[in-house]
Amino acid sequence: MAIPQSFIQELLSRVDVVDIVGRYVQLKKGGANFMGLCPFHSEKSPSFTVSPSKQFFHCFGCGKNGNAIGFLMEHAGMGFVEAVQELANQCGLQVPQDDISPAERQRQAQQKQKAETLSDLLEKAGDSYRKQLRAAPKAIEYLKKRGVSGEVSKRFGLGYAPAGWHGLASVFAEYDNPQLEECGLVIVGEEDGRRYDRFRDRLMFPIRNVKGECIGFGGRVFGDEKPKYLNSPETPVFHKGRELYGLFEARQALRDMGYALVTEGYMDVVALAQLGFANAVATLGTACTPDHVQKLFRFTDAVVFSFDGDGAGRRAARKALDAALPLATDTRSIKFLFLPSEHDPDSFIREYGPEAFARYVGDATPLSRFLIESASEGCDLGQTEGRAHMASNARPLWSQLPDGALKRQLLSEIAALVQLDARDLADIWAQEAARTAPMARRAPAPANSQPPEWDAPPSWDAAPEWAEASPAAYQPQDSSGNWRGRRELGRQRKPWGKKGEEWSPPPLGPRPTPVSREDQAARLLMCHMEFMEEMTHEDFNALARKEDARSSLFRWLEAQFQETGPRPWALLREQLRGLPHEMLADKLMSGPHGQPEGELPELRKELRDVLNRIQISHIDEMTVQVVRKASSDPTAAQKLRDLYARKQVLEAQLRNSSTSS
């Protein structure tokens, strides 16, 4: 979304950076400026200043500086647009969106209003759960047993959901409000339509986004009942594949301690905060995703994943490795901590102390070593075959890494382990990438060309030797010259109907044309032109690379988007009149699947998957072209490596998308 610079200047003139920063940092007047402890690094004497005259903050210790928008981006982990919208809401301003249609603007406003309403309902439920905790001896006893103080319980907003089926009916006067079901608080029976609370007799953990808004809940039982943890379902405000429990509460500790500790459960996060590790967060009952890792890197450049040392823990760590590899740049640290199978972080600290746990974290397995351990698992490096197997396992992992010193050093390390020169290993991997890429489809032969001998139909002019004994029985042609089977020529074919009834096959209509990925992408973009804002340069090149009607349509859509912004299909249809691709667009939008249906997040995900698959096909085509020119192109090996690395990233995104859905 393009935001006019004039609006940004007006917004900054209306907000007070002292007020914005003061909500997060305790400031004291010091001359013309305000002083405080820097929220971006740990310090004992204040070196962080905020200037009301310049509307600017600056830390003389770590060098962080900027305006109110920059502070929200750095401290709250917001994106630029999100920070602008947050400040605009505080000032009562409407962010101008001249580049989108009125219908889309209205849709966004409705979506935002719905999110705020659902979050308000969740906040109200959370308040009720916290009040119920005070009168729940069983829940209080459980927290005391786990060593959780009232202060930590309050910090995380812990509560208790009563055992009754309709506890929230006393909280919400309109218990039949459909939005209670939409935000995951209430379940409606499919058969009888009866409504009842989703969470009953559980310790409640509110899940907050980076702005501190309640977006869902996790509930834990007190005994051995199943499931032990129950999460809110996917809702318009809650997506477990993107959110991390405890991230809002851990923001300052992430900067103070210098790293994020990713654990496996809500209780781990709360217990670790009680024991001095307030930098812990947890995934929400799902495997770690690239969205999780990317969100953490907004707050810190170091992440430590903590898992049990058993088989399930190793499998979870491997999924975290796949999610982290594309983001493992040279300036980031990613480690994997495997605790003894009889311990979780809470029990380990209680038995050995926080210092021992801190040393254990410091000695955690770096990403590079865990990658090699994963690749060599089950491979006997003392045998030639085992080393070859390890090299084959390492290739898809290594290829996901972004180019840099880490990736190149790992290549040398892997090459040494498999007893190859690094350049030889790179060449082998490039050749393997080319060999496993799909073969390019053979171009159709010209209409007047003759097929090669091995494609020619068999000749029936000369009967085989075995036909000489009974030529009539084996004669393959009928009187009109059409080939017939032996049994067909001896007698009339039996009709399919009743005896004596003539049968003729029903007329066959034209075969339906299968929907191609390009058609699917075109339909999604014509229905939701605003999706083009999220397309990358590689996406557009893959769509518009050919000289055909579809590519022309994509180029026209891109030009329209750049000139006028997103527009609805009805308006696009009018603009298409008389253009060469009008007929194609009409055909695509009038078919049985012409108007894609579904929620916007689902459609965005569908388009992303389609574009990734189109890019992969494009990469396969380019790979074949590079291989054909390898003998005359000295840069072919590097090109193949680059192509394969890009393909691995796209395939990883598809796998993660499939897993999250």
Instruction: Encode pLDDT of 223-257 as tens digits.
Output: 877 788 889 999 989 988 889 999 999 988 887 88
Residue 308 has pLDDT above 90, yes or no: no
Q: Is the pLDDT of residue 101 over 80?
A: no
**Predicted local distance difference test score (pLDDT) of residue 592:** 53
pLDDT > 90 in the chain, percent:
33
Model confidence pLDDT, tens digit, residues 490-541 = 444 444 444 444 545 544 444 444 468 888 888 888 888 888 877 877 787 7
pLDDT digits (tens, 9 = 90+) for 168-192: 999 999 999 999 999 999 999 887 8
Checking 572-578 for CB contacts under 8 A at 24+ apart, the result is: 572/526, 572/529
pLDDT over 90 (residue 124): yes
Give the pLDDT confidence of 133-154 residue by residue, as tens digits: 999 999 999 999 988 999 999 9
HEC states along 123-146? Answer: HHHHHHHHHHHHCCHHHHHHHHHC
Q: What is the pLDDT of residue 569?
A: 77
DSSP state of 494: P
Instruction: Report the percent of the chain where pLDDT is more than 70.
Output: 84
- Residue 122: both structure tokens together: 């969740």
pLDDT at 577: 81
* Residue labelled with tokens 């009607």: 549
Compute the chain's Rg from CA coordinates: 32
Per-residue pLDDT tens for 626-640? Answer: 777 776 777 777 778
Q: Where residue 92 falls among pLDDT bands split at 50, 70, 90?
A: confident
Higher-pLDDT residue of 514, 562: 562
DSSP state at residue 75: H
- Confidence (pLDDT) at 203: 95
Q: pLDDT at residue 305 above 80?
A: yes
pLDDT band at 265 (very low <50, low <70, confident <90, very high): confident
- pLDDT for the residue numbered 218: 93
Tell me the mean pLDDT in the region 603-628.
86
**DSSP code per residue over 343-398:** --HHHHHHHH-HHHHHHHHHTPEEHHHHHHHHHHTT--TTSHHHHHHHHHHHHHHH
Instruction: Give which of 57, 109, 68, 83 is closest to 3, Cα–Cα.
Output: 83
Tens digit of each residue's pLDDT (9 = 90 or more) over 340-397: 878 888 888 888 899 999 998 999 999 999 999 999 999 999 999 999 999 999 999 9
pLDDT at 105: 66
pLDDT of residue 457 exceeding 50, the answer is: no
**Model's pTM, two decimal places?**
0.58
Q: What is the pLDDT of residue 473?
A: 41
Mean pLDDT of the chain: 81
